[in-house]
Amino acid sequence: MKKFEELKLIAPLQRALTEEKYDVPTPIQAQTIPAALLKRDILGCAQTGTGKTAAFALPILNRLGRNSRKALPNRPLVLVLAPTRELAIQIEESFATYGRHLRLRQVLVYGGVKQGNQVRSLKRGAHILVATPGRLLDLMNQGHITLDQLEVFVLDEADRMLDMGFLPDLRRIINHLPAERQSLFFSATMPPKITQLSKRLLRNPVSVNVTPKSTSVERIEQRLMFVERHGKPSLLQQILTAGDVERAIVFTKTKRGANVVADKLDRSGIKALPIHGNKSQNARQRALEAFRRKQVQVLVATDVAARGIDIDGISHVINFDLPIEPESYVHRIGRTGRAGAEGLALSFCTASEGSELHAIERLIGQKIPLADGQIQPQWRPEQKSRSSSGRRNGRSQQGTSQGSGSQRFSRRRSSGMTGEADKPKPKRRRRNGQQSRQRSKQTG
């Protein structure tokens, strides 16, 4: 399939695609839509930003438009599950865009807001329901949603669902699905649990894989910057004021860290807003809309937003903190370099983040190049276990086996500044304490 017109979609969809200037489908669309139009199950391996939403939305809208079934109260015909509120909202907006000339009702349900409006919308009837797992189960348990009329089920970003702990919820939802249905399953990666889930959900699926692990990484220019912990804020400000940063997403490990970084940037004259799970839904949407309209230059986000932000024109992704899970690195930097465009991903790394750096480089199969002017410090990240205990033990061993210099940057290579957080702690002497306790027992 070279052009959308070859699909012979119904006229209202063709009209919407023309208005959106959609002419040539992306690879995921070209491989998925023909099979989905034949009502085949789909197992798709694709990341956000590849045109995946249209790949499942267009066949669904075409099916509903041809059937002209009436929307039933509380009984959707299509269910699309997404891991985050932001992604759910964007999916619903895509359905509204492509289906603007169809008389279809769609409802969006997600947590973090009162359910009253959502319940009223469901009672009026919905052809398409876009939902996050937690709120969906809540409304199902309350009797506001029944899935016995469901024709199509879409599970988007299944691996992200797993990362966020939704696997038990997914299993409960799947138990309520009718046996006769079409299922479309999408995931950026296929870890064993996701593969098992897809086998349970799909029947003789058509497999589509348009995003090998290294593709999105290779498309994005990556650079590594070694920095001391206390030097991160000033380095970030220096980068953002250099003049070539149009819009940037800065990732931190924690929600508090996102708030602190955004506040410091804002006070320095750089317009920035934080976005994370503790923000209200309205606040998150306002931040995204301000970023989309270029009213703010920087979003400071936690990993909850790593695949929930679908905005073109992001010139830079900056990892203020390296993620603990290396897979999150790929999802983070995927916010730039979208739709074939080039992007730049900068990562800050302190001596205490050496194990995270090693895990990331092992996952992507390459060393992240140093930024201009950077010199490899004397410490070398060793291979560590990815468990939390392994990371703790690894850092402790690194400090004891390599000596005091291993936990700080070389003075020659980092301007002689060493943050207190990066200094090794002295070993505790336990032997004398143990001997004294033994003596006390003997005398007692």
DSSP secondary structure letters along 92-128: HHHHHHHTTTS---EEEE-SSS-SHHHHHHHHT--SE
Q: Does residue 207 sit in helix, strand or coil?
A: strand
Question: Is 331 in contact with 188 (CB distance < 8 Å)?
Answer: yes
Q: Are 60 and 137 in contact (CB under 8 A)?
A: no
Question: What CATH number should be reported for the domain whose range is 215-422?
Answer: 3.40.50.300
Whole-number pLDDT of residue 314: 87
- Give 356: exposed, middle or buried? Use CB within 10 Å, 0-12, 13-18, 19+: buried
For residue 409, give the nearest of 378, 369, 380, 382 by alpha carbon: 378
Tell which residue, 80, 64, 41, 43, has the closest CA to residue 179: 41
Provide the pLDDT for residue 419: 33
Q: Does the reported pTM lie above 0.85?
A: no
For the chain, residues classed under CATH 3.40.50.300 are 4-209, 215-422
Report yes or no: 309 and 284 within 8 Å, Cβ to Cβ: no
275: alpha, beta or left? (left if phi > 0; alpha if psi -120 to 50): beta
Q: Are 85 and 112 in contact (CB under 8 A)?
A: yes
- Predicted local confidence at residue 441, as pLDDT: 43
In order of 46, 367, 388, the CA distances from 380 in angstroms are: 34, 13, 20
Contact 171, 196 (CB under 8 A): no
Whether the CB-CB separation of 271 and 298 falls below 8 Å is answered with yes
Element (H, E) at 153: strand 152-155
Written as six digits, the tokens of 185 are 């399953």
Distance CA 7, CA 5 (A): 5
In CATH terms, 4-209 corresponds, of 3.30.565.10, 3.40.50.300, 1.10.580.10, 3.40.50.10800, to: 3.40.50.300
Give CA–CA dist 431/444, Å, rounded. Answer: 20
Q: Answer for the pair 161, 87: CB distance below 8 angstroms, yes or no.
A: no
- Compute CA distances 403 → 327, 350, 396, 425, 429, whole Å: 31, 17, 11, 11, 17
318 with 239: CB under 8 angstroms? yes
The CA-atom distances, in angstroms, between 309 and each of 89, 118, 182, 285, 346 are 10, 23, 27, 11, 18
Structural contact between residues 203 and 41, judged by C-beta atoms closer than 8 angstroms: yes
Distance of CA 96 to the CA centre of its chain: 23
Q: What does DSSP assign to residue 370?
A: B
Q: HSE on the CB side for 203, CA within 13 Å? A: 8
Name the nearest CA neighbour of 317 among 275, 345, 340.
345
Structure tokens at 62: 């075409």
Per residue in 260-303, pLDDT tens?
999 999 999 999 999 887 777 778 888 888 998 899 999 999 87
Backbone angles phi, psi at 233, to 5 degrees: -60, -45
Q: What is the pLDDT of residue 307?
A: 55
Amino acid at 400: T
Counting every residue written for the chain, the total comes to 444
Give CA–CA dist 36/59, Å, rounded: 6
Whole-angstrom CA distances from 356 to 75, 231, 249, 304, 359 are 46, 19, 20, 19, 5
How far is it, in rounded angstroms, from Cα 84 to Cα 161? 9
β strands within 39-181, DSSP E: 42-45, 78-81, 106-109, 128-131, 152-155
- Say what the pLDDT of residue 237 is: 95
With a cut of 70, which residues of the chain have pLDDT below it? 1, 47-49, 211-219, 304-308, 337-342, 378-444
213-245 b/e with 16+ CB inside 10 Å = b?
beebbebbebebbbbbbebbbebbeebbeeeeb
Select from 271, 249, 274, 244 the least CA-distant residue to 261.
Answer: 274
Q: Which residues contact 269 (CB under 8 A, 6 or more apart)?
A: none
Rounded CA-CA distance 304/306 in Å is: 6
Q: What is the pLDDT of residues 385-418, one digit of tens each?
A: 333 333 333 333 333 333 333 333 333 333 333 2
